[in-house]
Chains A and B, each alone.
Chain A
Amino acid sequence: MITFMNNSDSEEEPCNERTSLMSAESPPVPSYQDGLQASEAGEAQAHRKRRAGSSRGPNNIAGGEMSGSGVPVRERALENEEEELTLKYGAKHVIMLFVPVTLCMIVVVATIKSVRFYTEKNGQLIYTPFSEDTPSVGQRLLNSVLNTIVMISVIIVMTVFLVLLYKYRCYKFIHGWLILSSLMLLFLFTYIYLGEVLKTYNVAMDYPTLFIVIWNFGAVGMICIHWKGPLQLQQAYLIMISALMALVFIKYLPEWSAWVILGAISIYDLMAVLCPKGPLRMLVETAQERNEPIFPALIYSSAMMWTVGMAKPDTAARGPSQQTWDAAEDGREHLRSPSQAESQISEMRSPVPTHPATSLEELEEEERGVKLGLGDFIFYSVLVGKAAATASGDWNTTLACFVAILIGLCLTLLLLAVFKKALPALPISITFGLIFYFSTDNLVRPFMDTLASHQLYI
């Protein structure tokens, strides 16, 4: 158990920089010079834009506040049209994140409800060394708080280590680390998952078939995540590895520790992303200074499509064709960035405000996507999965947590539209989720049970 779990310490590190929500902004791609320069410049712009850019989320919900600021939207027609377009697409971005988050949660909840393996107690991670099998409530609470302290310290140490590595440009080490962790997720955890699912449904599979299936799944996953691949396949793989990671957490975190850890990690996320000396903020700033992308395989990008820079009008004017291999290949060659699938995809064109509003502009507007760290997926799914696993078979709790998380995500995207910089995606959603979990489990469930037993409807 210990050796197995030691390998997973590389998993902790992704949990850290995954926990920030960023808006992918179209960088003003300077030129087509070869080499790393253009790509770096291009990708750096993405980060610069993330700071000062205009990835507008849904302004609609708090439209009152937005309009109250007295934006003179009639003064510049172009700006107005940009605002309006981004407003329309603001809700689209919200849905572009709702869908993967929902899919991840559905996978986790479906697995929890059907495969018994993930709800059985079978030891604990070394990151939560204190056992919760204590006789008194106070002792149990103390143990869970201590577990949380250990876990959060591990996460902080890992994040700081990663930021130091990044600062001192040990890229090979970081890439190797990331590749190792995604290897483990894609092969080992998938093997375990598949084994348990087959056991649950009593389906026999021979080893050669299993080998071929796992090999193909894992190899294609590695290629899609770390190199090039169709956008939707990459998104599907990222959702799957987030779900697998969440299932591991649900299985191995003890009850009370899980809830305290969820609360603590959202506070940590808040501080790490917003405080000036926070590790995640330093990471983002360093990446911006160097005009480099943040690591691949840690961020889910919802960008629908991307094209090459303005200097290549024929490519850009290629109509609203959906993400294809050719478009991807084309653009990537021109930019000659390092083969990082998600950064390719996040590479987008600038709005270039000086240009007249043409259909090209609208095309660019459509291309903007929002990025969400994979750690956010993981912890959302942990919350909903724990609700499904422990709420005494009640579906209402799971549904309430699900709605709470979606609303939190919506509000976070709204704040993103207002503040236009990297924001932590965990605090609001997890807070709502925790409030709804405890209140639904303790208050709503008995009420609804009583009503249902008399077949009363309110």
Chain B
Amino acid sequence: MGAAVPLGCAAAALGPAAALVLLTVAAEPLLLVVLVAGAFFWLLALLAASLLWSVWVRLSGREDAALLPLAAAAVLLQELCRFACFKALKKADEGLAILSEDGRSPISLRRMAYVSGLSFGIISGVFSISNILADSAGPGTVGIHGDSQYYFITSAFLTMALVLLHTFWGIIFFDACERRRAGGVGLVVGSHLLTSGLTFLNPWYEASLGPIFILTLCTGLWAFSTAGGSFRNVLKCLSCKQEPEGQAMLCSARQVPLEG
């Protein structure tokens, strides 16, 4: 396919993630470490899911055996690892707070939530798309066996949606765990299951891509409001009024109830 397709698909799929990393994470070494740690947790979830799948395939003897329950199990394992990541980061946050001068850790848990969500998104996106990109750089005809011709471009956009979704889910999930709200956790798990289930409708892209993007938008708005954002904030930001970010962080950190 030449260089256009892989480069274009890579930009579509990983462009937002790369921009987010460069703008918000790259300057802060601690967040980079959190990024790598989050990727590790996701890999553990994937390993467990693959183990389950290979055991199932051995038992049932068929390659295509029952992917739907296995995908659901994979989603649940990912959320479990997200919870483990939350626990680890919470501990790290407490340690940082104790060791710092003013009793506050240098990076708020909210930022760590965002970065861990982003890391889940990046690693899952990269795992989804890298083999596809490598194949798209080589010779071939897309959909020669009757599959959809739009495989590469839809994969790229699905990956982008998934990266953003993971970021939003990270923020919402950590906030819900912090406030001990099962509803938030349940909704995150539910929307993840829904997203994964919608991809089973591929290649009927109107039914899968459309709802997934709508879901991404809604989850994004929900995460924005969870993180303390509001319409007023957006207006302030757009009118370029200098509001130190620390304040907003401070406010949102204060809203979090102190754990007993």
Across-interface contacts of B249 in A (CB, < 8 A): none
**B230 interfacial by beta-carbon distance below 8 Å:** no
Query: Chain B, 45-89, contact with A by CB distance < 8 Å: what is the 0/1 string?
Result: 011011101100000000110010001001100100000000010
B46 touches A444 (CB 8 A): yes
Residues from chain B with a CB closer than 8 A to the CB of A91 are: 29-30, 32-33
Are A410 and B54 also in contact (CB < 8 A) when A63-B92, A455-B154 are? no
Alpha-carbon distance between A3 and B36 when the two chains are bound, in angstroms: 44
The distance in angstroms between the C-alpha atoms of A393 and B135, with both chains bound, is 10
Tell me whether B54 and A407 are in contact (CB under 8 A). no
Q: Is B178 at the interface (CB under 8 A from chain A)? A: no
Are B91 and A63 neighbours in the complex by a CB distance under 8 Å?
A: yes
Contact between B99 and A84 (Cβ–Cβ < 8 Å)?
A: yes
Q: A457 with B33: in contact, given A63-B96, A403-B43, A403-B123 (CB under 8 Å)?
A: no
Contact of A64 among B94, B106, B202 (CB under 8 A): B94
Decide if A410 touches B37 in the complex (CB within 8 Å).
yes
Q: How many residues of A contact B (CB 8 A)?
A: 52
- The residue among A98, A403, A404 with the most chain B CB atoms within 10 A of its own CB is A403
Whether the Cβ atoms of B99 and A455 lie closer than 8 Å is no
Contact of A447 among B50, B123, B195 (CB under 8 A): B50
Contact A84 B92 (CB under 8 A): no
Q: A456-B71, A457-B196 are in contact. Are A395 and B51 (CB under 8 A)?
A: no
Given contacts A67-B98, A457-B128, contact A61 B37 (CB under 8 A): yes
Contact partners of A449 in chain B: CB under 8 A: 131
Q: Do A454 and B33 touch (CB < 8 A)?
A: no
A140: Cβ under 8 A from any B Cβ = no
CA distance A71 to B43 in the complex (A): 34
Does any Cβ of B come within 8 Å of A205's Cβ? no
Partner of B30, one of A60, A395, A407: A60
Point out the residues of chain A lying under 8 angstroms from B78, CB to CB.
458
Q: Which residues of B contact A87 (CB under 8 A)?
A: 96, 99-100
Contact assessment for A456 and B200 in the assembled complex, using a CB-CB cutoff below 8 Å: yes
| Cβ < 8 Å to A, chain B residues 99-158 | 99-101, 106, 123-124, 126-128, 130-132, 134, 151, 154-155, 158
In the complex, whether B12 has a CB less than 8 A from a CB of chain A is: no
Report B-chain residues with C-beta under 8 Å of the C-beta of A443: 47, 50-51, 53-54
Chain A, residue nearest B159 (CB): A457
Q: Indicate whether B95 reaches chain A with its CB closer than 8 angstroms.
A: yes
A455 in contact with B95 given A95-B32, A95-B33 (CB within 8 Å): no
Total chain B interface residues with beta-carbon distance under 8 A = 56
| List of B residues within 8 angstroms of A64 by Cβ | 91-92, 94-95
Instruction: Contact check, A446 vs B91: say whether CB atoms are below 8 A apart.
Output: no
| Chain A CB within 8 A of B223 CB | no
Instruction: Give CA–CA (A29, B116) in the complex, Å.
Output: 42
Residues in B neighbouring A62, C-beta threshold 8 A: 91-92, 95
Quote the shortest CB–CB distance from A440 to chain B (angstroms): 8
A61-B92, A80-B101 as given contacts; A439 in contact with B32, CB under 8 Å: no
Asked if A271 lies at the interface with its beta carbon under 8 angstroms from chain B, I say no
Which one, A67, A436, A452, A454, contacts B128 given CB within 8 A?
A452
* Interchain CB contact under 8 A, B36 and A410: yes
A286 on the interface (CB 8 Å rule)?
no
**Residues of chain B contacted by A88 (CB below 8 angstroms):** 30, 106
Most chain A CB within 10 A, of B43, B78, B93, is at B43
**B34 CB, nearest partner CB in chain A, Å:** 9
Q: Which residues of A contact B123 (CB under 8 A)?
A: 399, 403
User: Measured between C-beta atoms, what is the minimum distance from B196 to chain A in Å?
Assistant: 5
Chain B residue at minimal CB-CB distance from A440: B47
User: Given A60-B95, A62-B92, A447-B54, A457–B162 Cβ distance below 8 Å?
Assistant: yes
A-B pairs, top 6 by smallest CB distance, nearest first, are: A63-B95, A64-B91, A91-B29, A395-B130, A443-B50, A67-B98
Interface of A with B (CB < 8 Å)? 58-67, 71, 73, 80-81, 83-84, 87-88, 91-92, 94-95, 98, 393-396, 399-400, 403-404, 406-407, 410, 436, 439-440, 442-444, 446-452, 454-458
Excluding A59-B99, A450-B53, A458-B78, 9 further A-B contacts by CB distance (< 8 Å) are A58-B33, A62-B92, A63-B96, A406-B36, A410-B37, A455-B202, A456-B196, A457-B195, A458-B49
A to B CB contacts below 8 Å, 6 in the list: A87-B99, A94-B32, A95-B32, A395-B131, A446-B50, A457-B158
